């Protein structure tokens, strides 16, 4: 669909948009391209033309994939559609703020969880340790509410055997895996993406509380 106006009402003479209809049946703009004919003069942006004279250029505003919040909007909309067809909603592994959360069964396994975390930290995998004084069940539910892709409960059996019991959100399964194997799996699935360190303390007890739910 296209629209032509009798008079120019904004700084652009052309605007192209990529719109979708979301789950709330509302139109949303995910990307846009605009030809700006005003702001070069407003901000005194000039170039020297072939005739040697200074001129004000047209400015192309282009955001074909949208801004960060528009991209997140699209990702969350996709997750909502997955949920409606019986799949577990999740963020892409490379994008999710925390990729692995260790759940020690009590305080005596926090240090061992830290040792496991060092393996992940060396290769840029974002991890947390839920060291709060809560039951294991509540810690696991908390991680699930946050859509954390990999959840590992750490107790005596895991420390002795070196095998971790891993809940994988996207696959809806629970598998035995050594820390090196977990590291390799996450690296393989995110090798195309840039590395970004966790921006919060690794210990959940040291993080700011943003919700009473988790």
Q: Point out which residues pair with 154 in neighbouring strands.
A: 104
Residue 135, domain extent: 100-206
DSSP category for residue 93:
T
Is the pTM higher than 0.85? no
Kindly state whether residues 116 and 195 are assigned to the same domain.
yes
Q: In the predicted model, is pLDDT for residue 2 greater than 80?
A: no
pLDDT in tens, 190-213: 999 999 999 899 999 999 887 777
Kindly state whether residues 104 and 135 are assigned to the same domain.
yes
- Domain end residue (candidates: 84, 118, 143): 84
- 53 touches 28 (CB < 8 A): no
Kindly state whether residues 156 and 180 are assigned to the same domain.
yes
Kindly state whether residues 70 and 110 are assigned to the same domain.
no
pLDDT in tens, 147-202: 999 999 999 999 999 999 999 999 999 999 999 999 999 999 999 999 999 989 99
Rounded Cα distance, 93 and 189, in Å: 7
Kindly state whether residues 128 and 50 are assigned to the same domain.
no
Pick left, alpha or beta for residue 124 (phi over 0 → left; psi -120 to 50 → alpha; otherwise beta): left
Q: In the predicted model, is pLDDT for residue 74 greater than 90?
A: no
Kindly state whether residues 43 and 133 are assigned to the same domain.
no
Kindly state whether residues 146 and 72 are assigned to the same domain.
no
Quick check: is 7 in a domain?
no
Q: Give the domain CATH number at 150.
A: 3.40.50.800
pLDDT in tens, 14-57: 988 888 888 888 887 888 899 999 999 999 999 999 999 999 99
Number of separate domains in the chain: 2
């Amino acid at each position: 669909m296209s629209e032509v106006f009798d008079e120019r009402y904004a700084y652009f003479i052309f605007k192209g948009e990529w719109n979708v209809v979301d789950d709330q049946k509302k139109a949303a703009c995910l990307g846009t391209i605009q030809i700006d004919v005003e702001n070069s003069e407003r901000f005194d942006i000039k170039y020297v033309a072939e005739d040697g004279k200074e001129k004000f250029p047209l400015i192309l505003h282009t955001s074909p994939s949208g801004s960060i919040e528009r991209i997140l909007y699209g990702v969350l909309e996709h997750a909502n559609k997955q949920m409606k067809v019986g799949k577990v909603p999740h963020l892409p592994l490379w994008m999710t703020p925390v990729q692995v959360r260790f759940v020690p069964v009590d305080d005596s396994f926090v240090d061992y969880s830290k040792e496991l975390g060092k393996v992940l930290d060396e290769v840029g995998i974002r991890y947390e340790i839920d060291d709060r004084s809560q039951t294991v069940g509540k810690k696991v539910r908390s991680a699930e509410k946050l859509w954390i892709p990999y959840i590992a409960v750490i107790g005596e059996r895991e420390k002795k055997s070196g095998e971790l019991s891993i809940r994988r959100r996207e696959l809806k399964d629970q598998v035995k895996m050594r820390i090196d194997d977990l590291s390799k799996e996450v690296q393989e699935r995110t090798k195309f993406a840039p590395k970004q360190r966790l921006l919060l303390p690794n210990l959940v007890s040291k993080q700011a509380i943003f919700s009473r739910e988790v």
